[in-house]
Every structure is written in structure tokens, then in C-alpha cells.
């Protein structure tokens, strides 16, 4: 059993959320108890109930923490991007991969089936609004001729599958040791590939995120 720890008022809640996050990533939302979370945090079971009345409330806090951290990372990246709709869309994917590398526990928990359904209503509404805005931005890019005229849902599915797959490979160690700089380079490469497409061209297009880089044939 972990050594009992002493927490200042306020940071025990954060420690319990972090312990809950690890429990979700390892056992799923339904595979652990509050008593196990208390053991992970190194406190007694009654201490948990001073911050969370039940397991559902803890799961809502875990889901909210993960969503907030991801939203902050992506929002900051898009705000820095001054390009067109395609450039902003790529910035979202690159930020997602960097988020996974910087916060692997958050990434693992956030991608566990069932956790997103535990988001508090206000957080869920914020996520829906953000996704709606992203769809509108893609549609505007299509009207401006910046993005191919194909169903937006197909674009989103393809792009999400690509960046999530890359993030998963990195976090699970399938690509070796990857720091933030390497993660960004990999994300630029894969989002560039999907942005260009696989259709042959007489002259390979350049990538504005990697100026002067020669493409291998």
C-alpha cells in the first residue's frame, strides 16, 4: 500500500483527479472503485468523499480536466495560426499530437471509451460548440477554394483517424523516444500528407510548414 501523504487544503482534489485519471486509463470508467483511487493517492477512503460524493462525480471531474487541458492546447495553437482554413485545421491536428506527448495520462484517459460521456453538461456544450465552429471553418474553406469539395464529415473522420493514430503510436512507444520537437515534426508530416492527398501530380506541391524541404521520390 502506498505511503500515506499529507496534502494542503485544495490540492488533495487535484491528486484524486490525477489518481482517477490513471485508474480510468488502466481499468476503464467502470473498472475501479473510489477506495482504489484513495489507495493510489495515498489517502484513506473517507478523504475522497470530502471532495467527491460518488464515483460519477469523480469521473465527471476527470473528464472535465482532460477536456479543458486539450481545449486550451488546441485553442492556443489555432490562435497562433494566421493562415487559411486548411492551415488552421492542420494546426488542430498538430496540437493534438503535441498534447498527447506532453500529457500522456490525459490522452490515455480521454481516449478510453465511455469517459467523454461523463463530461459535465456545460463542458459537453463547450465541446459541441467548438466542433460546430470547426465544421463551419472547413465549410468556409471549401467555399473559398482552400479545401477540397467533399463531405466535411469524411474530412474530419480521415484527419481525426490520422492524428489520433499517430498520437497513440507515439504515446505507446511504437516510434521510439519522441520529444515535443519530434512530435511536432511528425504531425506536420502526416497532416501535410493528408492535406496534399495521394493523387499523383506532375510537380510535388510545397509544404508551407516545412519551407525549402526537398521531397523524396
Residues in the chain: 217
Grid cell 515534426 in the structure block, residue: 185
pLDDT tens-place values along the chain, 217 residues long: 444 455 544 589 999 999 999 999 999 999 999 999 999 999 998 999 999 999 999 999 999 999 999 999 999 999 998 778 999 999 999 999 999 999 999 999 999 998 989 999 999 999 999 999 999 999 999 999 999 899 999 999 999 999 999 999 999 999 999 999 999 999 999 999 988 887 776 665 566 666 555 444 4
pTM: 0.84
Give the residue extent of every domain in the chain.
Answer: 60-196
Grid cell 484513506 in the structure block, residue: 44
The stretches of 81-203 forming alpha helices (DSSP H) are 85-102, 104-110, 121-143, 152-171, 180-196
Return d(Cα 37, Cα 34) in angstroms, integer.
Answer: 5
Specify the CATH number for 60-196; select among 3.40.50.10190, 3.90.1150.10, 1.10.357.10, 3.40.190.10: 1.10.357.10
Return d(Cα 112, Cα 29) in angstroms, integer.
Answer: 8
Amino acid at each position: 500500500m502506498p505511503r500515506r501523504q499529507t496534502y494542503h487544503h485544495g490540492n488533495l482534489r487535484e491528486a484524486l483527479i490525477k489518481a482517477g485519471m490513471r485508474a480510468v486509463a488502466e481499468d476503464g470508467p467502470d473498472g475501479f472503485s473510489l477506495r482504489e483511487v484513495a489507495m493510489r493517492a495515498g489517502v484513506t477512503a473517507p478523504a475522497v468523499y470530502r471532495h467527491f460524493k460518488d464515483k460519477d462525480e469523480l469521473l465527471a471531474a476527470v473528464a472535465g480536466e482532460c477536456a479543458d487541458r486539450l481545449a486550451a492546447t488546441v485553442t492556443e495553437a489555432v490562435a497562433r495560426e494566421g493562415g487559411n482554413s486548411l492551415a488552421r485545421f492542420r494546426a488542430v491536428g498538430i496540437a493534438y499530437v503535441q498534447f498527447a506527448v506532453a500529457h500522456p495520462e490525459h490522452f490515455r484517459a480521454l481516449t478510453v471509451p465511455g469517459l467523454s460521456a461523463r463530461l459535465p453538461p456545460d463542458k459537453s456544450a463547450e465541446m459541441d460548440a467548438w466542433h460546430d465552429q470547426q465544421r463551419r471553418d472547413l465549410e468556409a474553406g471549401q467555399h473559398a477554394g482552400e479545401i477540397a469539395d467533399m463531405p466535411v464529415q469524411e474530412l474530419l473522420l480521415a484527419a481525426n483517424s490520422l492524428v489520433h493514430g499517430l498520437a497513440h503510436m507515439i504515446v505507446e512507444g511504437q516510434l521510439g523516444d519522441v520529444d515535443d520537437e519530434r512530435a511536432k515534426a511528425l504531425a506536420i508530416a502526416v497532416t501535410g500528407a493528408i492535406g496534399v492527398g495521394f493523387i499523383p501530380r506532375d510537380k510535388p506541391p510545397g509544404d508551407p510548414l516545412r519551407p525549402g524541404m526537398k521531397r523524396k521520390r
